[in-house]
Amino acid sequence: MLNRENKTDVIIVGAGPAGIACGITLARAGKEVVIIERGLFAGSKNVFGGAIYTKPTLEIFPNFETEAPVERRNIEHNFAILGEKDSTTITYRKDDNTSYSVIRGKFDRWAAEEARKAGAYIVEETVVRELIKENDKIVGVKTELEEFYADVVILADGVNSLLAKQIGLRKDIQTKDVALSVKEVIKLDKETINQRFRLKDDEGSIVEIFGGPMLGMLGLGFMYTNKDSVTIGLGVTLNELVEEGLRPYDILEKLKQHPTIAPLIEGGTIKEYSAHLIPEGGYKAIPQLCDNGVVIVGDAAMLVNNLHWEGTNLAMISGKLAAETVLEAFEKKDFSKSTLSIYETKLKNSFVLKDMETYKDLMDVMHSRKKAFLSYYMKKINAFFEMFTSVDGVPKKENYHKFIKSIFTDRKISELFKDAWAIIKLLWSILL
């Protein structure tokens, strides 16, 4: 595929969802694409919860529901607030196909094969060490062994994106802008999973977990059902782990022992343990998205909607929009920053930057009011349901009065005003 000068149309660094979506779109349009992946195979280095979302995935892989190695079709979404020994769970259940649980080692490998079938050339077990810059334009990449040249280089190298840092498009990640996530895959037989999660056949369930051992911290836990395993994990902002001197694995161990969680994984054997960073900085942490000859996509561009646990969809669609921009650049024969910045406009017109912008103030509010929202009120929700479900001979009105009074004795009026103001401000910025 490469001609004598090792020059191709487009080089993509990273064969995750962003890189593959970009590569497959370009290859289908007839461009010569080389995707360079440091892992043994696409997906071998990837850590994930997780669910992929049907609509955006269909945009890239129209055949994935019937042909990709998906695990289960998620029909249930649970939001569990854990107290020390109790919990309150809200469940939304609908028999549809909004998302599927997948194991990235399998799914990414399949997706990479689809890109190969479309004509992309994938080089595995190769690390891109440096970008090559000539006359203020990125013109290629240096791997351990050789140099490759292209009209455009796409950085799809994930959350750390050392390459974006090398060329000054990204600064060092601040510890408040990333969560360290740890997860385990626990093997259980299919019937046990179906019985414990009230599922049948290929149905799957997602549990989002608040509080418990993460009480008061900017952190969330998660569980996903696979065919014959359950993924359990959590992510906590890195600066909190450092400040509190906590090890995420210890928090995960406590989470697994919680009386609401333990029965779901009892008797299972740990198949896999892994850790990874998740971009959490939101809209305000998005870097400059392109420069002469180079475009950044997916996690490398910090495109994650952490409230909704969405990352793969933003990665795939940003990859696709980057590819469409590059195709326009080929038509114009102009790979300058000004032409490649059409990518930013495309992102702004799509759900990707619209959603990121919707939640632009979320992390600031959560950082400033975390003890209130992620500790005090979480405890209060469980306390309310404890009171509401108790049958103790005390007149109900007395219980209600006691509960309401406790809020005013626990928290100063000024704090309650600050909490209410933070919610109003947040809703204002989300809805308007």
Ligand X SMILES: Cc1cc2nc3c(=O)[nH]c(=O)nc-3n(C[C@H](O)[C@H](O)[C@H](O)COP(=O)(O)OP(=O)(O)OC[C@H]3O[C@@H](n4cnc5c(N)ncnc54)[C@H](O)[C@@H]3O)c2cc1C
Binding site for ligand X (CB under 6 A): 13-19, 36-39, 45-51, 127-128, 156-158, 181, 183, 233, 276, 278, 298-300, 304, 309-313, 315
Contact 240, 218 (CB under 8 A): yes
Least distance (Å) from ligand X to the CB of residue 11? 10
112 CB-near residues (< 8 Å, 6+ apart): 15, 20, 35, 37, 41, 42, 43, 122
Among 200, 198, 212, 225, CA closest to 91: 198
Least distance (Å) from ligand X to the CB of residue 281? 13
Neighbours of 122 (CB within 10 A): 21
Least distance (Å) from ligand X to the CB of residue 425? 28
Q: Any idea what DSSP says for residue 310? A: B
Quick one: 81 or 185, whose CB is closer to ligand X? 185
Quick one: 14 or 212, whose CB is closer to ligand X? 14
Between the CA of residue 204 and those of 72, 194, 272, 274, what are the distances in Å? 5, 8, 20, 22
Amino acid in position 3: N
Quick one: 60 or 422, whose CB is closer to ligand X? 60
Q: What angle do CA 171, 177, 183 make, to 5 degrees?
A: 120
Quick one: 87 or 181, whose CB is closer to ligand X? 181
Least distance (Å) from ligand X to the CB of residue 50? 3
Quick one: 212 or 298, whose CB is closer to ligand X? 298
Among 336, 352, 356, CA closest to 295: 336
Tokens of 381: 């929700």
Neighbours of 125 (CB within 10 A): 12
Among 239, 232, 219, CA closest to 177: 239
Quick one: 260 or 312, whose CB is closer to ligand X? 312
Quick one: 181 or 260, whose CB is closer to ligand X? 181
Contact 155, 297 (CB under 8 A): yes
**Whole-angstrom distance, CA of residue 14 vs CA of residue 109:** 13
Q: What's the 3-state SS for 341-374? A: CHHHHHHHHCHHHHHHHHCCCHHHHHHHHHHHHH
In three-state secondary structure terms, 369 is helix
Only one residue has tokens 């077990």, namely: 125
